[in-house]
Each structure stands twice: as structure tokens, then as C-alpha cells.
Amino acid sequence: MLYALLMVAIFSLLLQFYLHAQLSEARVTSANYESTEAYLMAEWTADIAREEIKEKLHDLVDSKEFPKMARGVEGDDKQQSELKATEVKDEEGKRSMSVQGDIRFSKGRSRYRSENNLLLVTVTTTAGHDFSYSFPLSSEK
């Protein structure tokens, strides 16, 4: 009888250890899945924010007459100088332009804002967990 009781106790300890390991693995898998979803939402948000910045820069360039850097220069040199001037203004505009907003997804919500040539994105999942990411504004995919 004592032997049977000892075997039941050992078996229950092994079973408890196995179930705990399985639950831990399930939690880790769930956390990784949620983290991956949050990163994808942040990537989509970054793409949308970059498009918003491009549109604002395009509107800014169209609405204002930037002074031409190379007046009096003829032909291709003049066009290249104007292109460089526009590129310089675009880079300065990206650094100084501030955008912010939020986007709702079926799996959560993301908030974004630009700051110091970085796009800061915070994703809150439907489970209530927050994930923060930062993306450079100047790099293109």
C-alpha cells in the first residue's frame, strides 16, 4: 500500500511538472504571436505615416514658392540646382514636420508621432498590452 501511494505521488509530481511546462510554452507562444501582430500593425502605421508626411511635403512644395538657388544658370545645370534645392527643402521639411495620429485595427490600436527624424509608434492590443517601436523617417524601403 505504501508503495502504491509513493508511485501515485511521484506520478502526480511528474504530471504537474509536465502540465506546468505545457502552460508556460502556450503563454510564450501566445506572447510571441501578440508581439508579432503588434509589430505588423506598427509597420503598417509607419508606412501610412510616411505617406502622410510625403503628402504634406508635396502640398508644402506646391503651395509655397521656394526661392530658386540658381537664378541665371542655363540649361541642365539650372534644373539640377533646382532639384537639389527641392531635395534640401524636402529633407529640412522632414526634420521639422510633425505628424501624429492614431489608427484602429481589428487586433488593436496604434498611435504615432514624429519626433527628431524618428517616427514613434505605440501599439495597444485588444488584450491591453502596449508595444513601442521607433522607425527612422529618412529611410525608404
Global pTM value: 0.68
Q: Is residue 141 part of a domain?
A: no
CA gap 98, 94 in Å, rounded: 8
Rounded distance, CA 124 to CA 110, Å?
Answer: 6
Least confident of 37-41, 42-46, 79-83, 113-117: 79-83
pLDDT of 137 strictly over 60? yes
Q: How many domains does the chain have?
A: 1
Give residue 70's pLDDT band: very low, low, confident or very high (50, 70, 90): very low
Question: What is the tens place of the pLDDT at every residue in 3-27?
Answer: 999 999 999 999 999 999 999 999 9
Asked whether residue 113 is assigned to any structural domain, the reply reads yes
In a domain, 93, yes or no: yes
**Domain extent at residue 105:** 2-136
Return the sign of the alpha-carbon dihedral for residues 63, 68, 69, 74.
positive
Q: What is the pLDDT of residue 69?
A: 42
Q: What is the pLDDT, as a whole number, of residue 79?
A: 46
What cell numbers appear for 82 in the block?
A: 533646382
Mean pLDDT of 78-91: 49
Q: Rounded to the nearest 5 degrees, what angle is found at the Cα of 113, between the Cα atoms of 102 and 63? A: 95
3-state SS, residue 111: strand
With 60 as the cut, is the pLDDT of residue 39 above it? Answer: yes
